[in-house]
């Protein structure tokens, strides 16, 4: 089949690059191609392929574009992503469905009702949405971690904590970036030999993070490395003392899952889908509790690497969130859509 893979990228000058660098887009595109389908990329409504057999859309907020095309020619529309039903409700304006303006809620409910299949990336998201809204053909289809790439390397161990996050204002709030820097300031008082490496695209909160580091007296021990390659990210997961990502909510928690697969010690919060992804292999802290986070960082810095634990973490991700499992899910979904459309075409000819 010819599949048009659509995600709205109008805020990015080079949207094709985003499909190559954002892990969950990249994984799904590779899976669809590995199933033998022709995949055409679309980053705005103008680039939607009108000859596609199926539209595969990330995010319900913009699914009305392919749905409008579907109403004209009858192509199936599959929608996936994080729905964010109550994510940071009344904390980050406009992020959760509950806080969105009326017209956006209408569009999102429209997509849930008329999409051919609605794929939810975690059990948490599936339950939240289906318990509160009408959904046509809801399917639990968790995201995938590339465990052939993200794996432990037991010989490596560094002297630093690691986190990766785009430092936009909303991300900084949701992923507690200020608290990470402040907690590291407390860690530094007891362990001045340790470092904090913060990776990710520099956004509108970046300057504030630099100021936090300065006020905490750790400017020379916090490294803001910006965008990094997959190879660098892998090395950091494998080498860091702990991957640190407390969070107010995660619809899945892809970076957390990658860190778990790499055998990293992980500090995060039991928010949203995080417990599904980590299983028993994370140290949970209360979001924005600086003292609790600092203590967790100090504790894990003293904990020796356990190769058996690392392999157990990898098996947990392989058993629950492997690319093979998502490929199997998507193959069944696409087959069911293809069969259903074939039946519709036959009925149309008979009429």
- Mean per-residue pLDDT, 90-98: 90
Confidence of residue 341 (pLDDT cuts 50, 70, 90): low
Confidence of residue 344 (pLDDT cuts 50, 70, 90): low
Dihedral class, residue 110 (left if φ above 0, else alpha if ψ from -120 to 50, else beta): alpha
- Mean per-residue pLDDT, 309-315: 97
CA-based R_g, the chain, Å: 21
Compute how many other C-beta atoms are within 10 angstroms of the C-beta atom of residue 198.
24
Q: Per the structure block, which two tokens stand in for 88? A: 């940071």
Confidence of residue 11 (pLDDT cuts 50, 70, 90): confident
pLDDT at 340 over 80: no
**What does residue 218 show for φ and ψ, rounded to 5 degrees?**
-125, 25
Secondary structure E strands in 165-260? 195-199, 222-226, 242-245
Mean residue pLDDT of the chain comes to 93
pLDDT tens digit sequence for 163-179: 999 999 999 999 999 99
pTM: 0.90
Query: Where would I find the H helices in 74-122?
Result: 102-114
Predicted pLDDT at 351: 44
* CATH code for the structural domain at 2-144+322-350: 3.40.50.2000
Q: What gap in Å lies between CA 28 and CA 19, rounded to an integer?
A: 10
Q: What gap in Å lies between CA 143 and CA 166, rounded to an integer?
A: 20
Confidence of residue 346 (pLDDT cuts 50, 70, 90): very low
Predicted pLDDT at 292: 98
In the block, residue with structure tokens 């970046």: 206
Query: Which one, of 51, 115, 125, lies nearest residue 274 by Cα?
Result: 125
pLDDT at 345 over 60: no
Predicted pLDDT at 350: 37
pLDDT tens digit sequence for 212-267: 999 999 999 999 999 999 999 999 999 999 999 999 999 999 999 999 999 999 99
Q: What gap in Å lies between CA 52 and CA 41, rounded to an integer?
A: 11
Q: Domains of the chain: which residue ranges?
A: 2-144+322-350, 160-320
Predicted pLDDT at 297: 98
Predicted pLDDT at 349: 42
Predicted pLDDT at 343: 46
Query: Which one, of 91, 88, 92, lies nearest residue 170 by Cα?
Result: 92
Confidence of residue 339 (pLDDT cuts 50, 70, 90): confident
Range name among 205-209, 242-246, 340-344 with the lowest pLDDT average = 340-344
Q: What gap in Å lies between CA 200 and CA 227, rounded to an integer?
A: 5
β-sheet bridge partners, residue 307 = none
Confidence of residue 12 (pLDDT cuts 50, 70, 90): confident
pLDDT tens digit sequence for 277-288: 999 999 999 999
- Mean per-residue pLDDT, 308-331: 96
Q: What gap in Å lies between CA 31 and CA 29, rounded to an integer?
A: 5
* 2-144+322-350 shares its CATH topology with 160-320: yes
pLDDT at 93 over 90: no
In the block, residue with structure tokens 């992503």: 81
CATH class for the region spanning 160-320 = alpha beta
pLDDT at 94 over 90: no
């Amino acid at each position: 089949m010819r599949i048009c893979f659509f995600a709205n990228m109008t805020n990015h000058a080079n949207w094709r690059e985003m499909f190559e660098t954002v892990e969950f887009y990249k994984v799904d595109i590779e899976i669809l191609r590995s199933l033998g389908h022709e995949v055409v990329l679309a980053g705005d409504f103008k680039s939607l392929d009108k000859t596609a057999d199926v539209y595969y859309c990330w995010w319900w907020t913009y699914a009305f574009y392919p749905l409008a095309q579907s109403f004209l020619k009858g192509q199936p529309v599959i929608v996936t992503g994080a729905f964010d039903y109550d994510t940071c409700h009344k904390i980050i304006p406009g992020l959760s469905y509950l806080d969105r303006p009326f017209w956006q809620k209408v569009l999102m409910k429209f997509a849930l009702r008329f999409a051919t299949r609605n794929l939810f990336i975690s059990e948490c998201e599936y339950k939240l949405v289906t318990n509160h809204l009408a959904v046509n053909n809801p399917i639990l289809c968790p995201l995938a971690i590339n465990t052939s790439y993200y794996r432990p390397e037991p010989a490596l161990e560094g002297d630093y904590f690691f986190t990766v996050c785009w430092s936009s204002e909303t991300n900084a709030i949701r992923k507690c970036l200020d608290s990470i820097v402040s907690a590291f300031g407390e860690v530094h008082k007891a362990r001045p030999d340790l470092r904090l490496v913060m990776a990710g695209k520099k956004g509108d909160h970046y300057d504030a993070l630099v100021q936090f580091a300065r006020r905490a007296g750790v400017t020379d021990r916090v490294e803001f490395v910006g965008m990094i390659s997959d190879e660098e990210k892998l090395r950091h997961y494998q080498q860091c003392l702990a991957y640190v990502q407390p969070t107010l909510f995660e619809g899945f928690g892809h970076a957390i899952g990658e860190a778990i697969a790499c055998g990293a010690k992980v500090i995060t919060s039991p928010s949203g889908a995080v417990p599904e992804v980590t299983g028993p292999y994370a140290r949970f802290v209360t979001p924005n509790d600086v003292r609790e986070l600092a203590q967790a960082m100090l504790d894990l810095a003293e904990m020796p690497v356990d190769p058996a634990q690392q392999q157990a973490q990898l098996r947990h991700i392989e058993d629950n969130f492997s690319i093979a499992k998502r490929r199997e899910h998507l193959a069944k979904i696409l087959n069911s859509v293809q069969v259903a459309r074939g039946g519709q075409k036959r009925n149309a000819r008979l009429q």
